Amino acid sequence: MHLRNALRAATALSLTMVGAAQAETITIATVNNGDMIRMQGYTDDFTAKTGHEVEWVTLEENVLRQRVTTDITTKGGAFDIMTIGMYETPIWGANGWLVPLDDLSAEYDVDDILPAMRNGLSHDGTLYAAPFYGESSMVMYRTDLMEKAGLEMPEAPTWDFIREAAAAMDDPANDINGICLRGKAGWGEGGAFITVTGNSFGARWFDEDWNAQFDQPEWKEALTFFVNLMNDYGPEGYATNGFNENLSLFQQGKCGMWIDATVAASFVTNPNDSTVADSVGFALAPDNGLGKRSNWLWAWALAIPAGTQKEAAAKEFIEWATSKEYIELVAANEGWANVPPGARTSLYETPEYQEVPFAKMTLDSINAADPTNPTVDPVPYVGIQFVAIPEFAGIATEVSQEFSAVYAGQQTVDEALEKAQAITNDAMEAAGYR
């Protein structure tokens, strides 16, 4: 009897010790987006399930990129999980900087991840980051203003129609701009938008031999169209408007249309923040009749840097945060409109979610984006609003600065394209592509 009790006690003690040894504190680097903040609020659920504690390091997006790049390349090991995007994941995965996520549990159901997201976050067929939420871009428009203008937004509009609608809704006397678009310098801001616009006009960053294509007529046509559209019907000073500035304008009822990230749909339809919440419609991003739409593809994803000492706990967290159960947890507490969108197929099969007004258009937009075939003419790169090579962020930031100078009226379209051509070719030559 005594022996049995002693054995029990020893077993209990050893189990406790194993439990204690396995409980870790993981550090996660992330950005301050609404869905990430919400996730931080549910950390207790993860801790209760696994015993692991979580430390959050929330950084500004550009600082985060710089910070995690430095940390990875110097093997600093400050983070066990980092929030990265579709641009970094395949590049870092190829460099061996990330832990492959090829052994996720069966319950996690990796096949449920939307194929577009899974492809974009993989390198050579291996998943390197799990999407926390995904987005494409689409047209958000004011249904009341469209009705007043006597127009009906098609589900898949052309750029010509967008211009016509912008002209019809533009009402400077009442402080309403026909259209609001990104003009802010930065590869992820205005640079992303003009790149996808270019895609729909048949333009591309490079030909198949990595020669810059800014001297081609398609770029001139795309940039000229954009500049004219915005000069005629866009807000004052659009050269410095990015996502947040346009969100603010749209929420205050100062834009007839806004073409931007699908994730914005939940913001502009939220009556607490938006004055136009009940009169917003959605449509696919426009095309120009060439078979390519101007919508991008992006995911905020969780990845594990190679070299972390807490790989197992980090994987447990990723499985928890990007699981179906997490989505259900958020839905139960905050409603279906607030769950992280764009990551899992099953979400779009949920009847309750199908009732969310922007659900279908978000999924259609994501499905309409093909990073492996982004342009009308063939290209040697993967990526829609970016080119998945390490040099791109630097080059595109410089090029977008030249474009923003056009938007600000400081130079002409021709001057900017000439500079863009030189900047890109010089950088690609220096990097050994040409």
Partner 1 sequence: MARAVTPQRKILTTLVAWIIGLLIFFPIFWTILTSFKTEAQAINDPPLFLFFDWTLENYAVVQERSDYMRFLWNSVIIAGGSTLLGVLIAVPAAWSMAFVPSRRTKDILLWMLSTKMLPAVGVLYPISLLFVEFNLLDTRIGLIVVLMLINLPIIVWMLYTYFREIPGEILEAARMDGATLKEEILYVLTPMAIPGIASTVLLNIILAWNEAFWTLNLTAAQAAPLTAFIASYSSPEGLFFAKLSAASTMAIAPILILGWFSQKQLVRGLTFGAVK
Q: Which of 3, 74, 236, 432 binds partner 1 (CB under 8 A)?
A: 74
Min CB(388)–partner 1 separation in Å: 20
Residue 207 is a binding residue for partner 1 (CB under 8 A):
no
DSSP, collapsed to helix, strand or coil, labels residue 298 as strand
Minimum CB separation of residue 400 from partner 1 in Å reads 15
Distance CA 83, CA 191 (A): 21
* Helix, strand, coil share of the chain (percent; to 5): 50, 15, 35
CA distance 41 to 96: 32
Closest distance of CB 304 from partner 1, Å: 15
Dig out the tokens for 52 from the structure: 């692991």
Shortest CA distance to 289 belongs to which of 165, 376, 364, 194? 376
Residues 6 or more apart in contact with residue 29 via CB below 8 angstroms: 57, 59, 64, 67, 68, 78, 79, 81, 82, 83
Q: What whole-number distance in Å separates Cα of residue 215 and Cα of residue 197?
A: 16
- Smallest gap from Cβ 188 to partner 1, in A, equals 8
- Candidate ranges 52-60, 124-132, 317-325, 363-371; the one touching partner 1 (CB under 8 A): 52-60
Residue 256: its H or E element: strand 255-261
Q: Is the Cβ of residue 274 or residue 323 nearer to partner 1 in the bound state?
A: 274
Query: What does the alpha-carbon distance between residue 329 and residue 321 come to, in Å, rounded to a whole number?
Result: 10
Which residue stretch of 110-118, 239-247, 350-358, 392-400 sits at the interface with partner 1 (rule: CB under 8 A)?
Answer: 239-247
15 scored as a contact of partner 1 (CB under 8 A): no
Span of 153-161, 251-259, 323-331, 413-421 interacting with partner 1 by CB under 8 A: 251-259
* H helix or E strand, kind and range, residue 425: helix 413-430
CA 208 to CA 214: how far, in whole Å? 14
Exactly one of 33, 126, 346, 411 binds partner 1 (CB under 8 A); which one?
33
Answer yes or no whether residue 14 interacts with partner 1 by CB under 8 A. no
188 binds partner 1 (CB under 8 A): yes
The pattern of x and - marking residues 346 through 385 that bind partner 1 according to CB under 8 A reads ----------------------------------------
The correct pick among 121, 259, 261, 427 for binding partner 1 (CB under 8 A) is 261
**How far apart are CB 300 and partner 1 at their closest, in Å?**
9
The answer to the question of residue 263 lying near partner 1 (CB under 8 A) is yes
Binding window for partner 1 (CB under 8 A); candidates: 31-39, 86-94, 310-318, 409-417: 31-39
| SS3 track for 328-367 | HHHHHHHCHHHCCCCCEHHHHHCHHHHCCCCHHHHHHHHH
Contacting range for partner 1; rule: CB under 8 A; set: 103-111, 249-257, 341-349, 425-433: 249-257
95 binds partner 1 (CB under 8 A): no
Q: Which of residues 270-289 bind partner 1 (CB under 8 A)?
A: 272-273, 275
3-state SS track over 73-141? HCCCCCCCEEEECCCHHHHHHHCCCECCCCCCCCCCCHHHECHHHHHHCEECCEECCEEEEEEEEEEEE
Instruction: Note the residues at the interface with partner 1 (CB under 8 A).
Output: 27, 29, 31-34, 37, 40, 55-61, 63, 66-67, 70-71, 73-79, 188, 243-244, 247-248, 251-252, 254, 261, 263-264, 267, 272-273, 275
